[in-house]
Amino acid sequence: EVQLVESGGGLVQPGGSLRLSCAASGFTFSSYSMNWVRQAPGKGLEWVSYISSSSSTIYYADSVKGRFTISRDNAKNSLYLQMNSLRAEDTAVYYCARWDFCTSYPYLAVWGQGTTVTVSS
């Protein structure tokens, strides 16, 4: 079964750090680009970061650039998001999602269940 399982969320004070992990199974992780997408309470979806299969290409949303770092370990079938200098507005459920393609059309076909990050004093 194709599966993504996030972990590492929790309560952190403003200015603090947190590292999220996403464990992949049931598919060849090293062949796929991956994304982090977040959803603030009661709000819509916001793309956070993208990493290509070989880590050669990385993108960040402007809202997290310079504070968050995406990485992956293909040997461990794992995706990571290091979050530093956290702010109240980073409070959200964080999802990892697989970047799939059909011909040239990309989409997020597989999602994890999400991990909750709460930034509060």
Partner 1 sequence: DIQMTQSPSSLSTSVGDRVTVTCRASQSISSYLNWYQQKPGKAPKLLIYAASSLQSGVPSRFSGSGSGTDFTLTISSLQPEDFATYFCQQSYSAPQTFGLGTKVEIK
19 in Cβ contact with 7 (< 8 Å): no
Q: Is 47 in the site for partner 1 (CB under 8 A)?
A: yes
Task: Compute the distance between CA of residue 1 and CA of residue 14 in angstroms, rounded to an integer.
Answer: 38
- Compute the least distance from the CB of residue 102 to partner 1, in Å: 6
Task: Compute the distance between CA of residue 53 and CA of residue 14 in angstroms, rounded to an integer.
Answer: 32
**Nearest residue to 41 (alpha-carbon basis) of 116, 110, 113, 96:** 116
Restricted to residues 21-40, the positions that interact with partner 1 (CB under 8 A) are: 35
Q: Is 121 in the site for partner 1 (CB under 8 A)?
A: no
Q: Is 113 in the site for partner 1 (CB under 8 A)?
A: yes
- Compute the least distance from the CB of residue 35 to partner 1, in Å: 8
- DSSP symbol at 32: S
Task: Compute the distance between CA of residue 119 and CA of residue 16 in angstroms, rounded to an integer.
Answer: 8
Calculate ∠ Cα 80-82-87, nearest 5°. Answer: 135
Nearer to partner 1, 12 or 97 (CB): 97
Nearer to partner 1, 16 or 46 (CB): 46
- Compute the least distance from the CB of residue 108 to partner 1, in Å: 6
The site for partner 1 (CB under 8 A) is made up of: 35, 44-47, 50, 59, 61-62, 95, 102-103, 105-109, 111-114
